[in-house]
Amino acid sequence: MEVGLVLMSYHGSWDDAAYAEQHGFASVGFVDSPLIAGDPFVAMALTAERTSAIRIGTMLAIPSNRIAPACATAIATVNRLAPGRVFLGLGTGNTGRAILGLKGMPVSRLEEYVASCRALLDGEEATQREGDTARFVRMRHTPEDRYVTCDNIPVYVAADGPRARRVAYEQGDGWIMGLQGCNAMVNAPEILGTSLAKLRAAAAEAGKGVGDFHTMCSLGLCVLEEGESPMSPRALERVGPVAMLPFHAYADNPAIGEHLPAPIRDRLEIYERKVLARFGVPRDRLYQESHRGHLSHLLPGEEEVLTEQIIRMTTLTGTAREIADILRRLEAAGLRNVTLNPPPHLAREAVREYAEKIAPLLDGDDLS
């Protein structure tokens, strides 16, 4: 199983990506969240210039942020810099749309967007819509290939629900999953296995095989030291921002509260009191504040919301052997790439931690 990195397109993220390549990481994906992160395609281009082997892509590009011809051209421009090392990850949008005060896009729009990007990259015609106007478009760069390289760009689709999974296997080359509803340190492999079984069954019904279908999952990582609590300041700094994501989703849409797992649901009142009330903004402006620490840092009061149980159910936090065991089981269930999402200031530390403490166990070395 490969290991990758999710980065927020911050200044210097391209150098952190090169550092990850030097330590055996296979991929790096850049977040597409305007207003709280840098532009992913700028970071990808700079990464392409500083690396030679690591695969570079979006995690995840959101259709509403740019029209399909612009997205296809952007990814093909990066592929011109790093031929054959680029992937396009697409999704309906989570934080990237929430920071704009918007919900995720309908799956039907994602499906059309994925199909358009795939067609354009394959040199085929796609439909571009603007209001009531629809026009057929295709790539028309000069044959000298000075601008873009469209060859060998896989399209991966982020999907948790059945409709989005269908888009992934019908239109895409891979599936990026969130493992919603799972306990990362307990039953994540079983949840993944069940989801993959459903995908394979649907693909078989549609007459399409999934032998080369790529599977990726993004997770926080903290290797606990001997006797260390998942709630230690060190652990909270590393995985607290990831563990807070369900709470941020609740802030955007309180109606989901009753559907969240009990350990999270039981802390919503504390989240309201210790975090949301401190923002001092109207309820319809919370989205401007609640996502500021996304995959980066804990906001004031958030450390009081989290518990050991929440940390371990939402992130890969445990001893090196516990984490290695979960990763082995995830690989056996069909996961081909686990992508770590550390805070920007700890990206290199996360790379070293995985390379020095987890990778040797997965390779079969005994560290005892």
Distance, in Å, from the CA atom of 311 to the CA atom of 315, rounded to the nearest integer, reads 6
Is the Cβ–Cβ distance between 178 and 160 less than 8 Å?
Answer: yes
Sequence-ordered alpha helix ranges (H) in 122-187: 162-171
- For residue 280, is it within any domain? no
Long-range contacts, stretch 260-265, CB < 8 angstroms, 24+ apart: 261/181, 261/313, 263/307, 263/309, 263/310, 263/313, 264/310
Please write the tens of the pLDDT for every residue from 63-74: 999 999 999 999
135 in a domain, yes or no? yes
For residue 219, report the phi and psi dihedrals to the nearest 5 degrees.
Answer: -145, 150
Q: Is residue 244 part of a domain?
A: no
Q: When comparing pLDDT for 351 and 177, which is higher?
A: 351
- Please report whether residue 312 resides in a domain: no
Tell me, yes or no, whether 308 lies in a domain: no
Q: What is the pLDDT of residue 343?
A: 98
Tell me which of 102-106, 108-112, 180-184, 204-208 is least confident.
204-208
Structural domain range at position 79: 2-220+318-362
Look at the pTM and tell me if it is higher than 0.85: yes
pLDDT digits (tens, 9 = 90+) for 267-314: 999 999 999 999 999 999 999 999 999 999 999 999 999 999 999 999
Q: Is 367's pLDDT higher than 50?
A: no
How many percent of the chain have pLDDT more than 90? Answer: 85
CATH number of the domain within which 190 lies: 3.20.20.30
Q: Give how many domains the chain has, as a whole number.
A: 1
Residue 132 CB neighbour total at 10 angstroms: 5
Neighbours of 305 (CB within 10 A): 23
Residue 170's pLDDT band (cuts 50, 70, 90): confident
What one-character DSSP code corresponds to residue 61? B
Residue 142 lies in a domain: yes
What is the rounded average pLDDT of the residues 217-235? 96
Does residue 368 register a pLDDT over 60? no
Reply yes or no on whether the pLDDT at 206 is more than 80: no
112 located within any domain: yes
pLDDT given at position 210: 67
Q: For residue 137, how many other CB atoms are within 10 A of its CB?
A: 17
Q: Is the dihedral of CA 247, 249, 254, 255 positive or negative?
A: negative
Interval 210-224: pLDDT, tens: 677 899 999 999 999
Task: Please check whether residue 214 lies inside any domain of the structure.
Answer: yes
